[in-house]
Amino acid sequence: MESGTKFNEGFGFEIVAAGENGLARAGTITTPHGQIQTPAFIPVGTKATVKSVLPEAMEDLGSQALLSNAYHLYLQPGPDVLDEAGGLGKFMNWDKPTFTDSGGFQVLSLGVGFKKVLAMDATTFRSDQVIAGNKERLAHVDDEGVTFKSHLDGSMHRFSSEISMQIQHKIGADIIFAFDECTTLHNTRPYQELALKRTHDWAIRCLDEHQRLTIERSDKPYQALFGVIQGAQYEDLRKEAAADLGSMTSSGVSFDGFGIGGALDKDSLGTIVGWVNSTLPQEKPKHLLGIGAPEDLFVGVENGVDTFDCVLASRIARTSAVYTMTGRFNVSNKPFTRDFNPIDYECDCYTCKNYTRAYLCHLFRGKEMLAATLATIHNERFIVRLVDQMRAALIDGTFYDLKADFMGRYKHKSGQSRD
């Protein structure tokens, strides 16, 4: 770094309007690849592509940034390839801001095979053994990191704070996340405490390694590091983690923003996010990891979330489920064979402007690839636009009117989704 240059040169966050309850706000995140007007929904391109959709189409539908995944890109094609390509954005022909998820969630969930229990329905069943289950144990967590088996070819790998930072610096996204231990709602309270202690230790090591790599690679654009708040469903643990990471400084640097992670029970989502965001420093951006159902986005924004990512919109699109202002339906169902209306008259997307339900029904039934493309464009536009409408409503003081209007019409409940 040249003397006089700010460590996180090129990154910033400004609050432009505060909502009625004190937590909700509209703002602007600035990155070396442009700005994000918040609150904003960030579509997911897990492996440096939003499945079936061109980056130009993602830009046209209003996507301000894309989020990819460090775990998947580490396994294939490998971080060195992205580094040589000039970073994630350049590699995938996307010149706007990018995020990468640390890989913590994936090494534990994909490696271990407990993806199912991250669903947002807490049951009374509690066991740390869920992680192993009856299956071969595919990931082992210790105080230093996680050893796991690749879900692609069974080869053994190890992630730690340092390795996650090295991978994410090579991938080169504008916003990266600290390596954390993601638990499930089924883990016992003593295990949650142990995992939180590890996440604390790993957060310090992430700051140290991030500081070292930022200086070593000072010819690259600055990458903002977000700390991840865990603590499951426990108020004291969530607040303790938020206070701890919120004020954490190591090697002279602190987190640029925060992610809220972990399995979140749908009914307590707002409460938990509220605990965390009322404890974290107000002036820093907050990202809610893996949440993207319409009703949950309102709850997140209401409780101070600035950005969201979720694979739900694109994943369900590929199964023919499409959003409308009154709920979700499957456009491949028989009744739509001769329905020449657009998916949703209130939608302004490319698909709704040019195609009918009957055409999409035909494409899905014929297993045509264009089905996924058109349905994904619609669903991503629906979610991106809904959050943009929340931003506009926060600015003109009508957020609760928008929420009441939407929730009064929209009939569907769905869960949490991460790749």
Binding site for Zn ion (CB under 5 A): 347, 349, 351-352, 378
Active site residue 101: yes
**Residue of 101, 244, 296, 306 marked active site:** 101
Q: In angstroms, what is the minimal distance from the CB of 374 to Zn ion?
A: 9
Beta-carbon contacts of 185 under 8 Å, excluding residues fewer than 6 positions away, are 117, 122, 232, 233, 263, 265
Distance CA 268, CA 200 (A): 24
| Nearest of 6, 96, 82, 28 to residue 391 by alpha carbon | 28
Q: In angstroms, what is the minimal distance from the CB of 416 to Zn ion?
A: 24
By beta-carbon proximity to Zn ion, the closer residue of 26 and 349 is 349
Residue 219 in tokens: 């010819």
Q: How many CB atoms lie within 10 A of CB 121?
A: 12
**Residue of 296, 309, 344, 419 marked active site:** 309
Q: Is residue 91 packed enough to be buried (19+ CB in 10 Å), middle (13-18) or exposed (0-12)? A: buried
Q: Are 342 and 352 in contact (CB under 8 A)?
A: yes
Q: In angstroms, what is the minimal distance from the CB of 342 to Zn ion?
A: 7
By beta-carbon proximity to Zn ion, the closer residue of 245 and 352 is 352
Residue 330 in tokens: 């499957």
Distance CA 89, CA 99 (A): 10
By beta-carbon proximity to Zn ion, the closer residue of 269 and 343 is 343
- Strand order of the β-sheet with 139-141 is 139-141, 145-149, 156-160
Q: In angstroms, what is the minimal distance from the CB of 165 to Zn ion?
A: 39
Distance CA 295, CA 386 (A): 10
Active site residue 309: yes
Q: In angstroms, what is the minimal distance from the CB of 419 to Zn ion?
A: 23
The DSSP code for 131 is G
Which residue numbers are catalytic?
101, 309
